[in-house]
Every structure is written in structure tokens, then in C-alpha cells.
Amino acid sequence: MPDKQHLQSIHALDSIVEELTFVATPLLGTAAMALIDARWVTALGALLLLPAALGLTSVLRGLPPAEETTAPSTEAKVRHRSLIRTRNGQGITVPVIALGLCGGGLTVIIPAATADFADVISSGYSFAAFSLGGAVGGLAYGRRKWTATLRARYSIATAALAVGAILLAALSASPLTILAVFCVGLPMTPIFVIAYLLVDERIDTPPRHAEANAWLGSGYNLGSASGAALGGQLLALTGPRLVAVTLAAVAAVAAAIAHRLPDAPGLPTDSAPAPESEPGKAIDGIAPASGDL
């Protein structure tokens, strides 16, 4: 996406579309499991992969050919230490790992909490609420003009994740669990969007971009797997409330790490006024309020 002014809108659109699929799927799965066996529901879901693959192939064939890239410069060939060992790399990646831990923890918290006041199959509604929160948060974030730095927004969004987990701990034994799960999901898409914008802002070479994006994707998946596994063990010893409190503590630590990101050179501080721009144009990579997502 060469136009950096619309980069945030593209990232928001990508995350929102993904979250909407995670809203629809638990609802459809819950409805289908009320009618047929869960194994048939899984099989039907697997069959959807074939038209998805065919559709993706059709889209890729319609894209213009990629431009030829020049040979890497001598500087690009210099071996760098892993991004995860740098302050920028840790500050960008750790909040996404914490988000993955919370997402994985929810896979054990929601069914356990739902079983206290409803049929466990109805936990699909709470899973849909989690993704719906991510879609709503992404829409709200992508349509607003921001003057705060990416670092400030990142730490605030991660802190909001901790607040949502605390709310979940307080409401985990009541039907209001679905509302708490929605609040946990609200900062999800903004965290992803800001993380990718930070990569664009802080990482200076395309090969390092690839490494940073790989850390973000793998970090979330590893966090999700760890959150489900460790959350299940902790759940067996205590209950959903303590698991949620633990996730809140992890998110709070991640917010502190995001706050420690070094200042980006050449960017305005949180208190500096935003530069003027043409009508309808975005400022500092932020989409206009009336722009499409």
C-alpha cells in the first residue's frame, strides 16, 4: 500500500473483515449444532475451504504482476540481531502476545463460565461477542483522527485489554459474561492495527518488515495456544475468575512494555498539534472520519 495516508484504513478493513467472520461462525455453528451432530458441522466447515481456495486463486490471477525488485544492497545483506531482542521489537510484539494469551484464555473461560447459568452450547454467543467487540473497536478506531503518537495509542489500547479482563473476572459467574467478553474484544483490532503501523513507522527495511510481521502473527498464535493450555490448567485448579485476573495482569505488564517504546525520531509528541492537511486527506497515516473502511 504505497499511500501511507490510507494505511490505517487498510489495516482496519483487514482486521474488521476477519472479525466479522468470527462473529458469524460461532453463531452459525451454535445454530447448526442445535440441529445436527457437531462432527457434521465440522465437516461442512471443512468443505468451505474449497470454494475459498478457488476464489483466492481467481483474485490473485487478476492482480497486476509484481514489480521487479533490485538486488539487495550491501547494507541490507548485513546480518542483524533478531527484532525480538531489540526494544522496538519487544515493545511492538509483547502486546500482541498478550492479546493472544487473552484470546486463548477465553476459549476455556467462556465455556466454564457459561456452564454456571446456561447450556454450554450457548457459549458460541460469547465467542461471537468477542469478535464483534473487535469489529466495533476497529471501526471506531479507523474512522477517528488521532493526534496522540502510536506509542501512546498502543499502550492505552493494551491497558483497555487489561480493564476488559478485570471486568470479565467480575462478571464471569453471571449472564453478563457476554458483555464482559465484548469489552475484552474492543481493543483487539486497534492493537493489531497499531502494531502494523508501528512496524511501518519503526522498521526501516523490507526484510525487517517481513520479520516483524512474522513475529506479530506467530506471537499471537503462540500466545493463543499458551493461553488455552495454561488457562485450562489454571481453570482446573481454581476457576474462570482467577484465570481472567491472571490475563488482566499479563495485559497490564504488556501495556507497561508498550509505554517503554523509544520515541520515534522526527514525529510529534502527544502534546504537539497535528499538521494541517487538505480536506478529505488523512493526517499521519490516519484515515479521515468520512473515509470508507
End-to-end Cα, the chain, rounded Å? 15
In a domain, residue 266? The reply is no
Cβ atoms within 10 A of the Cβ of 40, count?
A: 12
Count how many domains the chain has. 1
- So what's the pLDDT on residue 268? 43
Q: For residue 283, list its beta bridge partners.
A: 286
Q: Provide the pLDDT for residue 280.
A: 38
- CA gap 90, 72 in Å, rounded: 26
- Give the C-alpha separation, 53 to 113, whole Å: 36
The confidence score (pLDDT) of residue 28 equals 86
Per-residue confidence (pLDDT) for residue 179, from 0 to 100 = 92
The ranges of the chain with pLDDT < 50 are 71, 73-78, 267-293
CATH for 26: 1.20.1250.20
pLDDT at 112: 85
Structural domain contains residue 213: yes
Burial of 136 from C-beta contacts in 10 A (0-12 / 13-18 / 19+): middle
Q: Which residue range is the domain that position 98 belongs to?
A: 4-35+87-259
Residue 202 located in a structural domain = yes
Does 189 fall in a domain? yes
Q: Is residue 276 part of a domain?
A: no
| Residue 21 falls inside a structural domain | yes
- In the prediction, which pLDDT does 272 show? 40
In this prediction, residue 293 carries a pLDDT of 36
Q: Does residue 91 lie within any of the structural domains?
A: yes
pTM flag (> 0.85):
no
Residue 100: the pLDDT is 94
97-125 burial, b at 16+ Cβ within 10 Å, e below that, comes to bbbbbbbbbbbbbbbbbbeeeeeeebbbb
pLDDT at 251: 95
The C-alpha cell at 196 is: 502494523
Q: What is the pLDDT of residue 290?
A: 35
Inside any domain, residue 194: yes
